[in-house]
Chain A
Amino acid sequence: MTLESLTQATGEWLKGTGPESDIVMSSRVRLARNLAQFPFVGRATEQDRAEIERFLRERIATAPVGQSLEYIDVGRLQEIDRQFLVERQLISREHAEAQGARSVAIDRLEQVSLMINEEDHLRIQCIHSGLDLKGVWEQIRVVDDQVGQVVPYAFHERWGYLTACPTNVGTGIRVSVMLHLPALVITRQIDKVFRSLHKISLAVRGLYGEGSQAMGDFYQISNQTTLGRTEEELVEQVGEVVPVLIDYERRAREFLVRETEQNVHDQVSRAFGILRTAQTITAEETMQLLSRVRMGVLLGLIGDVNIADINSLLVRTQPAHLQKLRGLELDTKDRNIERARYLRQHFEGTAPTPN
């Protein structure tokens, strides 16, 4: 798989399909695993890391899942290409910025990715569009079983799967859903919602993972504990709050339309107007405006645009994607100009209001 073919494709999780995809962007599960016979990555020598990489690649190739995977040697990529994979959610920021031998194996649909030598020797990730935690869990369980048959995962009778950081020990599982919650943001109820999530020990992050600011009203909800409960219970823990959040967001959207229709119509139309006419625009502003337009489309206030398109633009207007699509390396100022041009071209001929 080349990065160029990835550039032209759109990851499955951006398709805007699946249950509740008006609010739930994607469902994701990742498992942290380590080989028993090597030090954890942080304490591994350069030679250890190379051996870990080789061992995992050779072994995984013998598993059924290995047949459908293609490897990208992350350690040898240019910074812009690593950034591209981060924007695509195929690797983490930590993996992009780490040192030494490391790679990622990706399946054709971009649903499964296996990061080698991140914080743990192996991080398996599975991601689906819309709300489909059960489907994601079923898929990743099979991958984990197959890899576990050919690789000796470090396991402890009492502590379960052993990880470099004690925060992941036990199941090594992180279950997350990415939600688009613009109406809760506009009606200023979002903080209240998050405070109640923290109380039941769920974490809230922005679109691009750990430590990132929530941009464009996209939020990632995930479990914080990994030990003492089964994987199914942890999937359920995240899964059971999602319908509640969906319900809050839907009610907030209905409230906006009912109480402030002109106002909200004006807001989303202006957002759309800027995206279609701006001459220079930052990635942050683009996300914020795309978020509003996305809501406008779902509320029937903007026609002629489909959700998959908006989802795809959210990723394609990110810095590395934009540069890959244009085939040029650009500084921030030129990127903003190029981004505005890309958006104008994309929306050319679309009608600003429903027919």
Chain B
Amino acid sequence: MKCQQCDKPAVFHITELESGDVRELHLCEDHARAYLNQAEGSGGSDEPAETGGGGLTGPLTVGQTADELAVLDKKACDMCGITFFEFRNQGRLGCPHDYDQFEKELEPLIANIHGATRHTGRRPDRAVTGLPEGTEELTSVIGLRRDMQEAITDEAYERAQKIRDAIRTIEARWFSGPPA
């Protein structure tokens, strides 16, 4: 991720809470220092900054607003049901599908941690089985199991039966057993 004020990599990620507004800043070391010095200088008095000004005025592009964050936080995984808010709190994802479901949100985070956004290492060898490398299809059973539970709770047994068959079909394909 780039600094919001220049082309250097952003190494400081600041969340500002001001007048009920949440703003995220992504800055390089130099701009972060300048910003923090400015903020500290202007915050000399004990009065809360009512203008929303201080360090935030100027050429900074503001990241997510509180509203945008609130919407994002409610976004939930179709498979395991974890919300982005829960992930932000716990720092742990709920299931493999989260990497697809929250891909856009995770991308800057992962770029920041690893300085990369694509795997270049080993890959599973499924040549013998003819199965794909990616396991999205198999992970879909996590969602199907939830649907099945729901159907059972609703006493919709026919639907539950159909979902169970769908799960079994997928599992049969993936668990045909180790090649002899």
Cα of A192 to Cα of B71 in the assembled complex, Å: 45
Q: Which residues of B contact A150 (CB under 8 A)?
A: 178
Q: Which residues of A contact B120 (CB under 8 A)?
A: 228-230
Q: Select which of B91, B114, B116, B139 is within 8 A of A154 by beta carbon.
A: B139
Cα of A34 to Cα of B106 in the assembled complex, Å: 19
**Contact stretch, chosen from A9-17, A18-26, A96-104, A159-167:** A159-167
Query: Which residues of B in the span 99-154 have a Cβ within 8 Å of any Cβ on A?
Result: 99-100, 106, 109-110, 113-125, 131, 133-136, 138-139, 141-142
Cα of A169 to Cα of B119 in the assembled complex, Å: 8
Query: Which residues of A in the span 186-231 have a Cβ within 8 Å of any Cβ on B?
Result: 225-231
B121 touches A160 (CB 8 A): yes
12 A-B pairs with C-beta separation under 8 A: A40-B92, A40-B93, A43-B80, A152-B135, A152-B175, A153-B124, A155-B135, A156-B136, A159-B110, A169-B110, A170-B121, A227-B116
Q: Are A42 and B124 also in contact (CB < 8 A) when A155-B133, A171-B119, A228-B118 are?
A: no
Residue of B nearest to A161 (CB): B119
Cα of A40 to Cα of B179 in the assembled complex, Å: 27
Interface size on A, residues (CB 8 A): 43
Q: Select which of B82, B119, B138, B142 is within 8 A of A227 by beta carbon.
A: B119
B94 touches A230 (CB 8 A): no
B113 touches A225 (CB 8 A): yes
Query: Which residues of B in the span 164-180 have a Cβ within 8 Å of any Cβ on A?
Result: 171, 174-175, 178-179
Q: Which residues of A contact B6 (CB under 8 A)?
A: none
Residues of B within 8 A of A (CB): 79-80, 82, 90-96, 99-100, 106, 109-110, 113-125, 131, 133-136, 138-139, 141-142, 171, 174-175, 178-179
A39 touches B142 (CB 8 A): yes
A159 touches B114 (CB 8 A): no
Query: Which residues of A in the span 15-57 have a Cβ within 8 Å of any Cβ on B?
Result: 34, 36-40, 42-43
Could you tell me the distance in whole angstroms from the C-beta of A292 to the nearest C-beta in chain B?
A: 38
Q: Select which of A34, A154, A155, A229 is within 8 A of B123 by beta carbon.
A: A155
Cα of A148 to Cα of B124 in the assembled complex, Å: 7
Q: Is A149's beta carbon under 8 Å from chain B?
A: yes
Helix, strand, loop or mixed for chain B's interface? loop
B139 touches A37 (CB 8 A): yes
A170 touches B139 (CB 8 A): no
Q: Which residues of A contact B124 (CB under 8 A)?
A: 148, 153, 155
Q: Are A36 and B96 also in contact (CB < 8 A) when A171-B119, A228-B119 are?
A: yes
B92 touches A225 (CB 8 A): no
- Residue among A144, A156, A165 with the highest chain B CB neighbour number at 10 A: A156
Q: Are A152 and B114 also in contact (CB < 8 A) when A42-B90, A166-B106, A230-B120 are?
A: no
Q: Which residues of B contact A173 (CB under 8 A)?
A: 121
Q: Is A158's beta carbon under 8 Å from chain B?
A: yes
Q: Which residues of A contact B80 (CB under 8 A)?
A: 39, 43
Residue of A nearest to B91 (CB): A165
Q: Is A62's beta carbon under 8 Å from chain B?
A: yes
Q: Which residues of B contact A154 (CB under 8 A)?
A: 96, 135, 139
Cα of A103 to Cα of B122 in the assembled complex, Å: 26
Q: Is A261's beta carbon under 8 Å from chain B?
A: no
Cα of A148 to Cα of B125 in the assembled complex, Å: 8
Q: Select which of B113, B123, B133, B142 is within 8 A of A37 by beta carbon.
A: B142
B171 touches A227 (CB 8 A): no
B125 touches A225 (CB 8 A): no
Q: Which residues of B contact A62 (CB under 8 A)?
A: 178
- Residue among B80, B106, B134 with the highest chain A CB neighbour number at 10 A: B134
Q: Is A331's beta carbon under 8 Å from chain B?
A: no
B113 touches A167 (CB 8 A): yes
Q: Which residues of B contact A231 (CB under 8 A)?
A: 121-122
Q: Select which of A36, A59, A225 is within 8 A of B116 by beta carbon.
A: A225
Given contacts A162-B96, A166-B93, A169-B114, 11 further A-B contacts (CB under 8 A): A36-B135, A36-B138, A39-B80, A43-B80, A152-B131, A152-B135, A152-B138, A152-B175, A164-B93, A170-B116, A228-B116
B118 touches A162 (CB 8 A): no
B116 touches A157 (CB 8 A): no
Cα of A315 to Cα of B125 in the assembled complex, Å: 39
